[in-house]
Amino acid sequence: MIGTLPRPGDDDGKGRTVFLVVLRGLAMAATLSATILMAVASEKTTVFSITFEAKFQNSPALWFSVVSNAVSAGYSFLALFISPTSSLFRFVVPLDAIVAMLLTGALAAAGSISYLGKKGNPHTGWMPICGQVPGFCDQMMISIVCAFIGVLLYTAIVLYNVSIAMNSLISSFPKLPVSVPRP
């Protein structure tokens, strides 16, 4: 079973568990921060006597980012209570990979919208809006940085879980006797 065999010198897997708890806690903090920062980012401005409000609800890509980060923060919280020696841990490993991919997609979507907000798109006539709503854009950028940290942490979690799985798999193979040829 994945993650059930302790590594030599690892205090029966307790060091591995602490490391995963720290990684998950940091990932939860990063994705929760990204969710909150994006969800509360809002700024009103008036351009040519037209008042508009910049907020994440105006963009499906930013909605996707908020929901994805919230789901991954909730999943991280729940996964904190599953021990690597538990039989449920075999479901956590693929779910970690799914969450990492979900966060990567959300980060890409939010990043593309933030780029459009900052630079616009002259080929389609979309003007940049960050000059009119700089507070919204700054808060959105901080949220994207938090989401990026979450992606990095989840990538580390996935790689660590794969390492645990490979070590367990390799250590389960029987040792073959090695014969040394005599001169």
How confident is the model at residue 173, as a pLDDT? 66
Amino acid at 160: Y
Would you state the structure tokens that stand for residue 69, as one six-digit string? 């980060």
Is 23 within a domain? Answer: yes
For residue range 134-163, list pLDDT tens digits in order.
Answer: 888 899 999 999 999 999 999 999 998 888
How confident is the model at residue 172, as a pLDDT? 66
Domain count, the chain: 1
How confident is the model at residue 2, as a pLDDT? 44
Is 129 within a domain? Answer: yes
Is 180 within a domain? Answer: no
Is 183 within a domain? Answer: no
For residue range 54-67, list pLDDT tens digits in order.
Answer: 888 888 999 999 99
Instruction: Please give the residue range of the domain that contains residue 47.
Output: 11-167
Is 182 within a domain? Answer: no
177 pLDDT tier (thresholds 50, 70, 90):
low
Identify the CA nearest to 36 among candidates 151, 122, 143.
143
Is 110 within a domain? Answer: yes
Amino acid at 154: Y
Average pLDDT score over the chain: 84
Is 179 within a domain? Answer: no
Q: What is the pTM of this model?
A: 0.80
Is 26 within a domain? Answer: yes
6 pLDDT tier (thresholds 50, 70, 90):
very low
CA distance 9 to 143: 39
